[in-house]
Amino acid sequence: MKTLFLIVFLFVMVSFVNAYPFASVIFSNNDYGCGYAGSGSSTTQTNAIEIGVNIAKYAMHSTNYINVMEITHNGDQPHPDSFATVVNQMRSLGYNANYLGMMTLGVTDITGVNLLFLTGHEAFTFTAAEKVALKAFLDRGGLLFADDCNNAVAGGFDNAVPALINELYGLSFQTLASNHAVYSTHYTLNGADFSYTAAGNGTEWNQQALMAITLQVPEPSTIGLMMFAIFGLFVYRNIRKH
């Protein structure tokens, strides 16, 4: 009982001390996914990839890798595996980047995955198990990038994503400030090159600012330290038994 108390206490204290604000869900109405799939002008495709690279770099936290999967759901999926284009660009830039394919929340093992991509035109719903898996992913510091292929506000997908996040956290999306780290993690997106707005947002179809919800998440190194400490407590407990 004493050991269990120490484990719980350690988990709470380490997580509290090292938690920091993180844009855990980033939402776009600009249809970057079509740019990843090779549609649109060269400016659209380049800006889409640069936005994707910056978001993936942001999702790395302080780690040296990015593992990406795309979520399957019961709506439509117009460009499956399109985010692989972004991952390929990251590799060409020297990052340890891996695209691991399509996945099903609550079924696929996403241990080690730090970015999930969600896209579509139509409304969709998640099962209770899918919601639990998504929330666990976000709570541990994962990032969900949702991209509306309608490239218009108030469509089916555009309504479904905020409703899902509000159900999970009771939060609403806020505009991501133009000086947010996402706009400068690798590329400096300031409207000077390959973009349609001063903040670096947009495709030829739409130029809405990115939206986000911010959560307090643990630093990945903290999670490793915590697991090491818990292992140490069990070893210590077993030694004392003998």
Q: What is the mean pLDDT of the chain?
A: 85
Indicate whether 237 pLDDT > 90.
no
Which pLDDT belongs to residue 78? 87
Which pLDDT belongs to residue 161? 96
Which pLDDT belongs to residue 236? 45
Which pLDDT belongs to residue 7? 52
Lowest-confidence pick of 116-125, 138-147, 212-221: 212-221
Residue 199's pLDDT band, with cuts at 50, 70 and 90, is: low
**CA dist 155 → 43, 143, 149, 152, 158 (Å):** 25, 23, 10, 7, 5
Q: Which sequence spans correspond to the domains of the chain? A: 2-241
% of the chain at pLDDT higher than 70: 79
pLDDT tens figures, 149-170:
986 666 799 999 999 999 999 9
What class, spelled out in words, does domain 2-241 have in CATH?
Answer: alpha beta
Indicate whether 136 pLDDT > 50.
yes
Tokens of 17: 């001390």
pLDDT tens figures, 63-75:
889 999 999 999 8
pLDDT tens figures, 21-79:
999 999 999 999 999 999 999 989 999 999 999 999 999 998 889 999 999 999 888 88
- In sequence order, the β-bridge partners of residue 96 are 65
Residue 238: CB atoms within 10 Å: 9
Residue 219's pLDDT band, with cuts at 50, 70 and 90, is: confident
Rg over CA atoms, the chain? 19
Tell me the C-alpha distance between 190 and 195, whole Å: 8
Query: In terms of pLDDT, which residue wins out, 193 or 181?
Result: 181
DSSP 210: P
Q: What is the pTM of this model?
A: 0.83
